[in-house]
């Protein structure tokens, strides 16, 4: 924690209270999970955001999910706490949740939301989320909460940027192969 930053709230996993500054929710519908497209930084992400000072992270996750997707979310379980190694040093908690009401909508933070299965994740899903989504699915099968250290290095950032560049190039190539028709 740096000077001037608010104190992090904690989430307990395996008897250890982990400090977290962010909370996300994997909204499951069977074997599918809701992902949303964020405009900045651009990419597919799970709903969530930064914890307000002294706010329960589960409340943060549910509040952010509703603000971003339009759905009211029931928090079902803690999936795990994810700390970072590399360019970031903060921790996030991931919850598993389900839709309890509401209706889909776009927001300034999430331009699109969709349910996808683990085998068909968008190419431009933030790199650390595949592991988190797999953990959410195993949590739904009864696995206990876990703690993971996830690397975020310049390699990860460059790899993600390369995928972003490849996506529009691939679309242009397909369009050309069809004779310029969308």
Q: Domains plus CATH for the chain?
A: 9-150 (3.90.79.10)
Distance CA 145, CA 154 (A): 29
18 or 152, higher pLDDT: 18
Give the ranges where the chain is alpha helix by DSSP (H).
Answer: 57-69, 129-140, 154-177
Per-residue pLDDT tens digits for 32-78: 999 999 887 788 999 999 999 889 999 999 999 999 999 999 999 99
Nearest 10 degrees: Cα torsion 50, 90, 162, 40: 20
pLDDT value at 8 more than 90: no
**Residue 54: exposed, middle, or buried by beta-carbon count in 10 A (0-12, 13-18, 19+)?**
exposed
pLDDT value at 87 more than 90: no
Count other Cβ atoms within 10 Å, centred on residue 148: 14
| H/E stretch holding 83 | strand 71-86
pLDDT of residue 42: 83
pLDDT of residue 133: 98
94 or 4, higher pLDDT: 94
Residues 21/51, Cβ–Cβ less than 8 Å: yes
Residues 64/70, Cβ–Cβ less than 8 Å: no
pLDDT of residue 1: 46
**Residue 179: exposed, middle, or buried by beta-carbon count in 10 A (0-12, 13-18, 19+)?**
exposed
Per-residue pLDDT tens digits for 101-153: 999 999 988 999 999 998 999 988 988 899 999 999 999 999 999 999 987 76
pLDDT value at 5 more than 60: no
pTM: 0.82
């Amino acid at each position: 924690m740096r000077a001037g930053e608010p104190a992090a709230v904690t989430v307990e996993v395996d008897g250890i209270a982990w400090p977290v500054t962010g909370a996300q929710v994997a909204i499951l519908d069977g074997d599918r999970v809701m992902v949303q497209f964020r405009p900045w930084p651009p990419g597919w992400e799970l709903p969530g955001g930064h914890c307000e000072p002294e706010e329960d992270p589960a409340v943060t996750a549910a509040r952010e999910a509703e603000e971003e997707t339009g759905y009211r979310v029931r928090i079902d379980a803690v999936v795990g706490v994810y700390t970072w190694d590399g360019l970031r040093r903060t921790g996030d908690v991931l919850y598993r949740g389900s839709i309890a009401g509401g209706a889909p909508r776009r927001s300034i933070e999430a331009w699109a939301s969709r349910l996808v299965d683990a085998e068909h994740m968008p190419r431009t899903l933030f790199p650390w989320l595949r592991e988190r989504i797999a953990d959410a699915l195993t949590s739904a099968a009864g696995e206990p909460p876990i703690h993971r250290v996830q690397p975020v290095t310049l390699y990860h950032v460059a790899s993600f940027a390369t995928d972003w560049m490849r996506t529009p190039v691939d679309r242009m190539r397909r369009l050309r192969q069809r004779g310029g028709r969308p």
